A and B are shown apart, each in its own frame.
Chain A
Amino acid sequence: MRRSRLREILNGLEVPGRLKALTATRSGGVLLLGTVLLLVIGITLLSTHARNQIDNLTAANSGARQWSMAQAEVEFLNYQTALLTGISDETPDLRALRRAFDVFYNRIAIIASGRTFELLHEDPRSARDIANIERFIARTMPLIDGPDAALRAALPEMLVEARAIRPSVRELTVRSMTLYARSYDNGRARMAGNLSQIALLTGALVALLMAGLLALTALSRVAQIQAREITQASARITAIVKTSLDPIIVVGPDGRILEFNDSAEETFGYSRDEATGANLLSLLVPPHLREEYAAGIKRFLREGGEDLTDNGRIRIEGMRRDGSHFPVEVSLTSSQTADGQILITYVRDISARVAAERELMQARDRAVAGEQTKANLLAVMSHEMRTPLNGLLGTLDLLQRTALDPLQEDYVRIMTRSGGSLLHHVNDVLDVLKIDSERPEIESALFDPVPLIADVVEEQEETARARGNTIRQDLPDAGTLSVVGDEMRFRQVLQNLLSNAIKFTRNGEIALGTDFDPHRAEITVTVTDTGAGIDSENISRIFDDFVTLDPAYNRINEGTGLGLGIARRLVEAMNGSLGVESEPGEGSVFWFRLPALAQVTNEEVEGSEGADTRLDAAPTPLDVLVVEDNEINRFVVREMLKRLGHRVTEAKNGHEGIAWTKARRFDLILMDISMPVIDGVEATRHIRQGGGPNAHQPIIALTAHAMPEDFDRFREAGVSETVTKPIDLGALSALLGRIPQGGAGERDWPREDPRALLDLEVLEDLRRALGEANFTRMQSQFLRETEDALEAVQGSAEGTTAQDYASEVHRIAGSTAIFGARRLRELLIEHRQLVLDGGLDAACDQWLEIWAVWKDTRAGLTQEAPAVPVRISAS
């Protein structure tokens, strides 16, 4: 019973081949049947025709015709006799005469008109005779129908007429005999032909039926062979199913198990007899998943499997006989059988694999956590080191400017250099951390590398000279090249490479060169030394972290071994590449390659120079609030600000800072982040949201925290810009130079570079395409709608699916692209991915940032957009 069931199912799977044979047989059968039918119809038609012919030959017609023709003469003679009698009688019986005439008239009318006598009409002689007789009747009729007296008088003449026509009547009768005899013979001949045709067709029919019989016999033999093959195939498949290592379960249209192989028995713990007939879901699926899986199966059967069997296999949960759950991977196939659609389920117990995966993931998580701990440790350390350094260097800076004797000045210079060196190391570590964290702060701008290289050379010339080295520069003219990247990072890379070259070269030459490839749009900067060189086994790890090749050198040369690692990270972050070629004893060539463009106009150069000029311009005195809990730091900042000519108000903590901001407006607030009670972030949030006189004033965060994710947190709170401590006079001056002069009034401090925030080219294109009026209208509509949409989608997070939520976010992101809201768009796309990966719960946290960026974007669009693109469009 069970085996035959399986065979049936598997037979069902074999349908294509059989179907073909079946179809061929079927169409052949149809053809045969059609031909037989045609033959039968032909025979029937011919038979009917033959029958009609027989009827025609034998039936009334011929007899009646013969009789009619004979009767014509008889009736004519009767008429003639009546005429004779009439002439001889005294009182002639005119009624009898008239009757005889009428009878003859009737007869001739029948012969002349009916199709029965067609043959006579076709014969010219007979037709002539008939015409003669008809004319005779026509001549005689007026007399017959006239008065008795006239008739009586005309009798002799009528007799003459009758005698004259007699031969015609006679001839017609005699001739008809001949004609009909001939026609009868013709008929018989046709009959014979007809019968031959019938015989022929019948013969063909018999032959065809014989052929059909043969074909059927052959087909039946083929069918037998096929049946045997199918039986064998099904036996093979049965064996395969039985011995399959994976459980195979076949389910009928009602959801009940039809097949349950050995492996399934072993995996699920049910015997075949127990499983067969039971409901698949109730038996093998944990109760809480049954509904979901039932829906999935239904969908699979309806849609043909696209949805459920992603890549053929899906991972679900199964339940053993003892009630324990375990992960399984299944693939589904459905097949149409006589009883309906069946589902063939291949199951694989993946408990072991899942366990291995889990272990692997845990191991990875532990490793990541370890890395994180290390990074955190370094971050905290850097903070702890930089805070005192800040105090130390700041105070030294101030001390240097007091009246010192030469010895003291020497001490201070040494202290400053040592402090600077220490700071440099700390910064190296921090750089590595920053770059390794996901978003290194790399600007992408155009700058002229030539003055920069010269500048770096100048910085290090003295160090080089101290080691007996000369630095040769082989550079193109300034103003001919523009590198695409981060100017500061470029400088850092070059500094690292140059100082590395100087360190490992004594009494040698260091050459700096550039090579611009206009086709690849790349600049290659080379630093060539005549130093010790690097042997081939070390050259591959020279750019790794903490690599100090020679212990001997290590004693001579200070350094963390991070310099080249940082250079590598920075170049890679700027989409560049770097490398080294070296010959031990001869020297090394370090090179890095970055995207670059040939400069076409001088305007860009002048522009950047103009910006520099503005940066260095003498500041208008500003009202500055310094919120800082550390007394030394507060003192340093205050002294620096005063030296720059600004007015300073001090607050010792966040609380005090907030109080001050409520009291009056400041041009600038410098906010320390790490403070007890109320930290800088919290205080900033208060100031921004409090709506006081400083709600829109620039707030600069001062922090030793250098991790980029912290920057984001600060920006969310409303911090305009973040500056990493320690801050020196030059940096502070540059910072203050960027602040809108003399009280910015209502205008927002641009918290982000508008070029990062907005794609100004897109905006300008749009403006040009729409025209000014339309653009303004569209823009305000866009601002209104986007704000509404953002609010709506944030509000919907409670009662929607992650999928719907994400697609709405995606839609908004799409519309922001039109107005070049680059940063917002990036953030929304990131947000969407976050929700898709982590569900709606993950959405909540990012909204602060989204709103902050949105406010910046809105401000940028309404205030910056009209001004900036005009400059861009001129280029």
Chain B
Amino acid sequence: MTRVAQFLSICVFLVSGLAAGAEQHDATLDQPQGEVILTISGQIARTNGEGVARFDAAMLRSLGQETVKTSTLWTEGVQEFTGTPLAAIMEAVGVQDGKIVATAINAYSVEIPLTDAIEGGALVAYEREGEAMNIRDKGPLWVIYPYDDNPTYQSAVAYARSIWQLEKMEIVPD
């Protein structure tokens, strides 16, 4: 009896929380004007298509631009990466919980927890050394961590999450 009541109250709380989130933000995002380079689906609060949020390069740039200088396993020397913080993208699509399943053009896929979507965490980079990246050069989007600044990112897990040729994200429950 008590347990049932508890469960119910949690459900009510969750529903009301979601409703409050919906009230705060517009239900839709702007429509992409250029070529779509990232598509986010799954448990997202804000969309601009049928259950999906699609971003062109300009939209990503408008979400906030950040630069990370770091060396990587796959490049020579310290590189300057510019992109949108993963946290900003998650906020833009109204993600509160769950996890990200990121997929690349080459069909590589990896799970990224929302704990990486924080300040000083993952960056969805679109420029390397001031140059836009293309598919032949691990573009157009490449998830980069500040490996040099934060040693916890010098791990196999983080390297695995550093997905390149990123094109899709799906937010799924934990």
Contact = CB atoms under 8 A, between A and B. Distances in A.
Contacts of B107: 74
B73 A116 contact: yes
Interface string B138-174: 1000000000000000011001100011000000000
Interface in A47-86: 58-61, 63-64, 71, 74-75
Contacts of A103: 105-106, 135, 165
Interface string A91-127: 0000000010011011101100011100000000000
Contacts, number: 47
B134 interface: yes
B7 interface: no
A106 B137 contact: yes
- B contact residues, range: 10 to 19
Contacts of A109: 136-137
Nearest to A141: B136
Contacts of B73: 60-61, 64, 114, 116
Contacts of A110: 74
B108 interface: yes
A99 B160 contact: no
Interface residues of A, number: 20
A100 to B, nearest CB: 9
Given A102-B136, A105-B136, A109-B136, A71 B155 contact: no
A102 B76 CA distance: 21
A59 B155 contact: yes
Contacts of B160: 60, 63-64
Which of B74, B107, B159 has the most chain A CB atoms inside 10 A of its CB? B74
Which of B76, B135, B137, B165 has the most chain A CB atoms inside 10 A of its CB? B135
Given A60-B73, A71-B106, A114-B74, A106 B135 contact: yes
A74 B106 CA distance: 9
Contacts of B76: 115
A99 B139 CA distance: 11
Contacts of A75: 106
B131 to A, nearest CB: 15
B156 A63 contact: yes
Interface string B5-44: 0000000000000000000000000000000000000000
Interface in A264-322: none
A58 B155 CA distance: 11
A200 B138 CA distance: 47
A101 to B, nearest CB: 9
Interface string B91-106: 0000000000000011
Nearest to A114: B74
A64 B74 CA distance: 11
Which of A58, A74, A106, A114 has the most chain B CB atoms inside 10 A of its CB? A106
Contacts of A102: 105, 134-136
A99 B74 contact: no
Contact of B156 (A60, A106, A107, A115): A60
Contacts of A60: 73, 155-156, 159-160
B107 to A, nearest CB: 8
B103 to A, nearest CB: 13
Nearest to A137: B136
B159 A106 contact: no
A75 B104 CA distance: 12
A565 to B, nearest CB: 116
B135 A99 contact: yes
Contacts of B165: 103, 106
Contacts of A115: 76
Contacts of B134: 102
Given A71-B108, A107-B106, A116-B74, A59 B136 contact: no
A74 B108 CA distance: 11
B108 A106 contact: no
Contacts of A105: 135-136
B155 A106 contact: no
Which of B105, B136, B164 has the most chain A CB atoms inside 10 A of its CB? B136
Contacts of A99: 105, 135
A106 B74 contact: no
Contacts of A107: 106
B141 to A, nearest CB: 13
Nearest to B156: A60
A73 to B, nearest CB: 12
A112 to B, nearest CB: 12
A115 B71 CA distance: 13
A58 B136 CA distance: 28
B170 to A, nearest CB: 20
B151 to A, nearest CB: 12
B143 to A, nearest CB: 14
Contacts of B164: 106
Contacts of A59: 155-156, 159
Which of B106, B134, B138, B165 has the most chain A CB atoms inside 10 A of its CB? B106
B22 to A, nearest CB: 36
A107 B76 CA distance: 16
Contacts of B74: 110, 114, 116
Interface in B105-121: 105-108
Interface string A22-65: 00000000000000000000000000000000000011110110
A106 B155 CA distance: 23
A329 B8 CA distance: 109
A71 B159 CA distance: 16
A107 B106 CA distance: 9
A106 B106 CA distance: 10
Nearest to A58: B156
A74 B136 CA distance: 16
A116 B159 CA distance: 13
A109 B165 CA distance: 14
A63 B159 CA distance: 11
A138 B134 CA distance: 17
Nearest to B104: A103
A60 B72 CA distance: 12
Nearest to A64: B159
B111 to A, nearest CB: 15
When A and B form their complex, which 10 residue pairs have the shortest distance between CB atoms, in order from nearest? A102-B135, A60-B159, A60-B156, A103-B106, A105-B136, A59-B156, A102-B136, A106-B136, A103-B105, A114-B74
Interface of B: 73-74, 76, 105-108, 134-138, 155-156, 159-160, 164-165
11 contacts: A64-B159, A74-B107, A99-B105, A102-B134, A103-B165, A106-B135, A106-B136, A106-B164, A109-B137, A110-B74, A115-B76
Given A106-B165, A115-B76, 4 more contacts: A60-B73, A60-B160, A99-B105, A103-B135
